[in-house]
Structure 1
Amino acid sequence: MGRLTLEAYAAADRHPVTLMLHNIRSMWNVGSMFRTADAAGIGEIILTGYTATPPRKEIEKTALGAQLTVPWRHFADPLEALSALKAEGRKVFGLEIAENSRSYSSLQPADYPLVLLVGNEVDGIGDELLAQCDGVLEIPQYGTKHSLNVAVAAGVALFECVRLFLREG
């Protein structure tokens, strides 16, 4: 299957995508997103607000060790995190069903490096944070439910971000 060793993965180039988790309630969701971030080969995870940080057994249960392979940082204040990420030259995209959102498959080469911001399982991304985003991406919904689990949505969007980057690269 071509799996990398821990040493090879640590030395490998990562895709210019950062996942930012804000006020995620479920530590199992946090762990799932670490695992997905590892599988997608993204650069790092940013944890903000009351999102739990490793080490926590609940995170480890679903991360399966990815909390050790994906670089991460914690900021109590999400606005401070966004400011730091933008100062590093990254564009920030919220993943949310919102007015003026665009398809998650519409990213262009100029959008990289990027930050994908996901919010709370119940409330999503607040207006204050959405206002700081360079854009808002939306995953089309075709059924009766108008949302996905945050970890599932992050996984769908992360792999699309990586696919689009590789297509252009």
Structure 2
Amino acid sequence: MVQVIQIDDPADERLADFRDLSTADRRPDRPGGRGLVLAEGVVVVERLLASPYPVRALLGVQRRIEALADQLESVDVPAYVTSAEIMAEVVGFHLNRGVLASADRAPMPAPADLAARSRCLAVLEGVGDHENLGSIFRNAAALGVDGVLLGPGCSDPLYRRSVRVSMGHVLRVPFSTVEPWPDGLKTLRDNGFRIAALTPRADSRSLRTAVAGVGKVALLLGSEGPGLTEEAITAADLPVRIPMAPGVDSLNVATAAAVAFYEVTQALDPDH
């Protein structure tokens, strides 16, 4: 059962997982740092507790820890309870959601294993914005995408902002990396995937017609602004697009992902 521990000293060394989150070079979830996962808010912490990521500790105000009582019954970790003022001093800013949890990372699946058990995958290139990345993971969870593969230039899905924007769904959607790029996409083709590159260029086909009758689809999505590189488009089986009204050529990448995920998952499973 969770160990509830009252904290009245912001310098308490037991709070190291949560300290100075506004200081870039000391953040525990930064790439190359301690590699922790941080969940913020009751809903996201609940999803962390239900995920394969090993929880280390919680920090929150009394009422937020109490709101998690049912989920914490079977968790043997410390839950540090303190005031909002002390919590803000530890974290480095006022945390409106009132609770944080830290966890160690879980092993990523091998790309081939993820491909073997999936029908629909998102493959990302150059999605470096944490909020876009978090939104894409949330969309993937909502629309039945089986997993996400990360190419070069993508930010870390387990960075705190991505976890928060995804509403914790990054913790339930499996992801891995594609290496080398783009030659590693061959793993998808070997597992029966048709690889569709989302691009507004003139020779692309309508996504809906392109994926009709296809058994497994990997959807390539590029960065906000420049989109996919020519190298990635060439490595795909075909370029596809979302038809637009006149005068508009593209959508925000997370919005485009949501539309594309819906079209692909409906094509694969119309009763979904």
Question: Is the Cα contact below 8 Å between 1:15 and 1:41 reproduced in 2?
Answer: no
Which of 135, 146, 149 pairs up with 1:32?
135
C-alpha distance 168-69 of structure 1, shift in aligned 2 (>3 A): closer
2:149 corresponds, among 22, 25, 46, to 46
Choose from 80, 83, 108 the match for 2:186. Answer: 83
Which of 1 and 2 has higher RCO (CA within 8 Å, sep 6+)?
A: 1
TM-score, with length taken from structure 1: 0.85
Offset, 1:15: 6.7
Among 162, 173, 189, the residue aligned to 1:59: 162
What's the TM-score, normalizing by structure 2? 0.54
Q: Which has the larger radius of gyration?
A: 2
1:11-160 matched pairs, under 5 angstroms: 16-75=119-178, 77-106=180-209, 107-109=211-213, 111-160=214-263
C-alpha displacement at 1:122, in angstroms? 1.6
Deviations 1:114-165 (A, max 9, x none): 1000001121111111111111111111043311000000100100111122
Question: Could you list the runs of 5+ residues in structure 1 that have no partner in the other structure?
Answer: 8-13
**C-alpha distance in 2 between matches for 1:29 and 1:18:** 17
Gaps of 5+ in 2: 1-46, 52-116
Cα deviations by residue, 1:36-63 (Å, 9 ceiling, x for unpaired): 1000121110011020123201101211
Cα distance in 1, alignment partners of residues 181 and 161 from structure 2: 23
Moved over 6 A (4+): none
- For 1:16, the aligned partner's letter is R
Residue 25 of structure 1: how far off its partner (Å): 2.2
Number of corresponding residues: 158
CA–CA separation in structure 2 for the residues paired with 1:47 and 1:60:
16
Q: Secondary structure in 2 aligned to 1:131?
A: helix
